[in-house]
């Protein structure tokens, strides 16, 4: 073969290879536990890493398939070398064993779509409650074929009880934008058909699920579901609204006590279909105000159009100064038939001249022989003086308060409150503190400020007092939510996780959830998940209690933020060696942190005992992950390096 041709073929083949190969993407889905109850939502942790050094993965979407249910999520582009961790929460599932099929789609080198798949599994088990029915299922779920947005339709759901226990039930019909529910009771062997009237407000294809729950001790347990895809047709109707009012050829632009005035009333079509045969009839219920020209023919009003083709005419005769309402009845025709709608609109009758304030309306003063409005944008008028409200907007209240526009008073904010804002949550690590047992926002903010220790100098040895968090503190946004009495507790004082995460979800941008409670229990944290910190926990070996609160958070946040293992031993807790700081033997330890020892890194070695068991190997004699109350200890090099690798994902 000619050498030139051979070289050309080799070069061409080399250039084509990247066009047909997928990117080097690591994709995993994990769950914090393998078993759930039917009243629990399902937390899913998704981790993605782009091992390419030049190319980004774009247009990422994740489809999670569990049984007959599909869930779709969109992710931002994954740059070269970037890692992404997301915590997702899926609805509760009925009893059974489930396989999670995760399908990741993205655009590769030249925009082609590439798919990756991974799997995991979990069980949903009934709790040991004798009164809980277990054999109730939905036999059928029927909806009409033709469904139109905004028009009620009748749905029927047939439920059967094949068990031996009677059930108090809640039947729910859910889609993305509607939810209807009805209570029912089924005796053993009973079959019951329940009818509901449902209204779908939005057009389009929608998955609608009929779900049945058992209710025991006011707790709902998910038993069964049946889904249908429903196409909701659009309802294109005209929607006539009052747009604006103008006085015609009125030099002073006022209606006076003795006056003849022409008024143009503009109507606008805000619907999705044109209105024809549009007419308007104006009337007055006040004897001193006479409508001398009562009707106007608007004829046709197109979609989005505003029109007033002719004017009405009114006459005032010795009318008292004040505000009056005129009645406008509008008749029009669209696809659904002929409609009549009524509007009230105000007119102000003014005095021609004034000498004193009492010649004017109660909200006016007499100035230069003319009645002028009293300026009072944030208050009310009394005796022709503006009495100011405490507030009319949030800007007039403190950072922890909001303006109640009904009371015009500053009240405590509820929900998600910003404590420290370093920028767009898209690029930051967002932490939300949920305060359990706190009576005021200020009390909660004081404790959050101590535990965060943003300046690293408040004496509480909080998160930002230790490297590498201290150096990277501008990569964090801090939020807080006062839980009030919304969290239930176990007998040992621990908050219910379901309640805690439901409240934390109000800060939807949060990547990490720290529930801080005034109750006394042993603090803990889920790996790469939510943390439960007792600010009332008694810590053995601790000097000043306030010095240990922040250190306790540093220890637990090591689990939740960086998935670091405990570096102490404790009888009866098993053995769970885990990357990066607890190896099962010195060979693995050498692979994980031997490079640091070879570099002569201070305090790093091979020490016996971690993840609760002797024989496992930790990298330091002591660290925050072993005895966090020793104030001179830090995370040290092994843990610090791993934490920094996660922080590199934020800006």
Q: Is residue 277 part of a domain?
A: yes
Confidence bin at 544 (pLDDT 50/70/90):
low
244 and 228 within one domain:
no
pLDDT tens per residue across span 85-137: 999 999 999 988 999 999 999 998 777 889 999 999 999 998 888 888 989 99
Cis peptide before 62, with omega less than 30 degrees from 0? no
Q: Which of 172, 199, 233 is the last residue of a domain?
A: 233
Q: Is residue 424 part of a domain?
A: no
Q: Is residue 290 part of a domain?
A: yes
Q: What is the pLDDT of residue 565?
A: 96
The enclosing H or E element of 409 equals strand 409-412
Q: State yes or no: pLDDT of 7 exceeds 50.
A: no
216 and 294 within one domain:
no
Q: Is residue 518 part of a domain?
A: no
Confidence bin at 320 (pLDDT 50/70/90):
confident
pLDDT tens per residue across span 184-202: 999 999 999 999 888 887 7
Confidence bin at 414 (pLDDT 50/70/90):
confident
Average pLDDT, stretch 12-37? 73
Confidence bin at 479 (pLDDT 50/70/90):
very high
324 and 342 within one domain:
yes
Q: Is residue 498 part of a domain?
A: no
Segment among 98-102, 252-256, 514-518, 582-586 with least mean pLDDT = 252-256
Q: Is residue 549 part of a domain?
A: no
Confidence bin at 543 (pLDDT 50/70/90):
low
320 and 246 within one domain:
yes
Q: HSE-up of 422 (CA within 13 Å, CB side)?
A: 16
pLDDT tens per residue across span 300-311: 999 999 999 899
Q: Is residue 283 part of a domain?
A: yes
Q: HSE-up of 433 (CA within 13 Å, CB side)?
A: 32
Strongest mean pLDDT among 151-155, 383-387, 604-608: 604-608
Confidence bin at 555 (pLDDT 50/70/90):
very high
pLDDT tens per residue across span 563-579: 999 999 999 999 999 99
Angle between helices 636-647 and 545-562 (to 10 degrees): 60
Q: Can you say how many angstroms the Cα of residue 389 is from the centroid of all Cα atoms in its chain? A: 33
In the three-class reduction of DSSP (H, G, I as helix; E, B as strand; rest coil), residue 32 is classed as coil
Q: What is the pLDDT of residue 233?
A: 79
120 and 7 within one domain:
yes
257 and 158 within one domain:
no
Q: Which of 124, 154, 184 is the last residue of a domain?
A: 124
Q: Of 364 and 561, which is predicted with more confidence?
A: 561
Q: What is the pLDDT of residue 545?
A: 56
218 and 159 within one domain:
yes
118 and 9 within one domain:
yes
225 and 169 within one domain:
yes
Parent domain of 84: 3-124
In the three-class reduction of DSSP (H, G, I as helix; E, B as strand; rest coil), residue 635 is classed as coil
Six-digit token pair at 341? Answer: 């709608």
What's the domain count of the chain? 3
Cα–Cα distance for residue pair 315/253, rounded to 1 Å: 15
Residues 22 and 55: beta-carbon distance below 8 Å: no
Q: What is the pLDDT of residue 9?
A: 45
Q: Is residue 269 part of a domain?
A: yes
Residues 481 and 507: beta-carbon distance below 8 Å: yes
319 and 244 within one domain:
yes
Confidence bin at 20 (pLDDT 50/70/90):
very low
* β-bridge pairing 35-36 and 219-233: unpaired
Residues 432 and 421: beta-carbon distance below 8 Å: no
332 and 255 within one domain:
yes
Cα–Cα distance for residue pair 195/523, rounded to 1 Å: 48
Q: State yes or no: pLDDT of 431 exceeds 90.
A: yes
54 and 8 within one domain:
yes
Q: Which of 73, 91, 124 is the last residue of a domain?
A: 124
pLDDT tens per residue across span 123-154: 999 888 888 898 999 999 998 888 877 778 88
Six-digit token pair at 347? Answer: 């007119």
Cα–Cα distance for residue pair 344/342, rounded to 1 Å: 7
pTM exceeds 0.75 for this model: no
Cβ contacts of residue 13 below 8 Å, gap of 6+? Answer: none
User: For the domain that residue 277 is a member of, what is the CATH number?
Assistant: 2.60.40.10
Cα–Cα distance for residue pair 16/620, rounded to 1 Å: 50
Instruction: Please name which of 141, 238, 135 lies closest in space to residue 188, comparing C-alpha atoms.
Output: 135
């Amino acid at each position: 073969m000619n050498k030139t041709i051979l070289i050309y073929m080799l070069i061409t083949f080399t250039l084509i290879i990247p066009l047909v190969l997928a990117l080097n993407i690591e994709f995993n889905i994990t769950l914090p536990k393998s078993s759930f109850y039917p009243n629990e939502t399902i937390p899913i942790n998704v981790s993605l890493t782009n091992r390419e050094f030049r190319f980004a993965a774009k247009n990422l979407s994740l489809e999670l398939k569990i049984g007959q249910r599909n869930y779709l999520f969109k992710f931002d582009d994954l740059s070269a070398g970037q890692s992404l961790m997301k915590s997702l929460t899926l609805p509760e599932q009925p009893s059974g064993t489930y396989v999670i099929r995760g399908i990741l789609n993205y655009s590769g080198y030249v925009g082609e779509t590439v798919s990756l798949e991974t799997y995991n599994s979990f069980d949903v088990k009934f709790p040991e409650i004798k009164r809980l029915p277990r054999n109730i299922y939905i036999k059928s779920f029927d909806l009409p074929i033709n469904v139109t947005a905004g028009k009620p339709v009748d749905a029927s759901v047939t439920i059967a009880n094949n068990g031996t226990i009677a059930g108090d039930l809640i039947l729910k019909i859910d889609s993305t934008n509607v939810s209807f529910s009805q209570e029912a009771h089924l005796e053993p062997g009973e079959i019951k058909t329940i009818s509901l009237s449902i209204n779908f407000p939005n057009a389009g294809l929608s998955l609608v699920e009929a779900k049945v729950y058992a209710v025991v001790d006011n707790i709902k347990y998910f038993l069964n579901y049946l889904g249908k895809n429903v196409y909701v047709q659009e309802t294109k109707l005209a929607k006539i609204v009052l747009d604006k009012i103008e006085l015609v050829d009125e030099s002073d632009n006022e209606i006076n006590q003795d006056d003849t005035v022409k008024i143009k009333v503009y109507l606008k079509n805000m619907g999705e279909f044109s209105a024809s045969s549009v007419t308007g009839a104006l009337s007055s219920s006040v004897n001193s105000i006479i409508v001398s020209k009562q009707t106007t023919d608007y004829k046709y009003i197109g979609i989005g159009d505003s029109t007033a083709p002719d004017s009405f005419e009114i006459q005032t005769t010795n009318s008292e100064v004040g505000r009056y309402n005129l009645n406008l009845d509008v008749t029009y025709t669209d696809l659904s038939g002929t409609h009549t709608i009524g509007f009230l609109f105000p007119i102000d009758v003014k005095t021609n001249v004034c000498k004193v304030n009492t010649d004017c309306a109660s909200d006016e003063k007499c100035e230069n022989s003319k009645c002028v409005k009293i300026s009072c944008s944030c208050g009310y008028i009394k005796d022709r003086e503006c009495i100011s409200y405490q507030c009319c907007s949030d800007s007039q209240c403190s950072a922890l308060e909001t303006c109640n526009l009904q009371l015009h008073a500053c009240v405590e904010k509820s929900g998600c409150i910003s404590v420290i804002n370093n920028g767009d949550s898209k690029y930051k690590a967002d932490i939300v503190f949920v305060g359990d047992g706190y009576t005021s926002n200020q009390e909660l903010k004081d404790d959050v400020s101590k535990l965060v220790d943003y300046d690293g100098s408040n004496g509480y040895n909080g998160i930002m007092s230790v490297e590498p968090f201290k150096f990277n503190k501008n990569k964090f946004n801090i939020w807080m939510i006062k839980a009030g009495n919304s969290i239930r507790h176990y007998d040992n004082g621990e908050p219910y996780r379901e309640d805690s995460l439901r409240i934390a979800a109000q800060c939807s941008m949060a990547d990490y959830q720290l529930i801080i409670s005034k109750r006394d229990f042993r603090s803990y944290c889920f790996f790469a998940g939510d943390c439960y910190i007792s600010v009332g926990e008694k810590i053995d070996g601790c000097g000043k209690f306030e010095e240990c609160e922040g250190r306790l958070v540093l220890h637990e946040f090591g689990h939740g933020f960086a998935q670091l293992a405990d570096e102490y031993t404790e009888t009866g807790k098993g053995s769970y060696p885990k990357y990066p700081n607890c190896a099962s033997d010195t060979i693995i330890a050498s692979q994980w942190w031997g490079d640091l020892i070879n570099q002569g890194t201070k305090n790093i070695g091979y020490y016996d005992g971690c993840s609760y068991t002797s024989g496992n190997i930790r990298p330091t004699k002591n660290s925050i992950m072993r005895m966090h109350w020793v104030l001179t200890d830090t995370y040290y090099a092994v843990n610090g390096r791993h934490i920094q690798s996660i922080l590199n994902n934020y800006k």
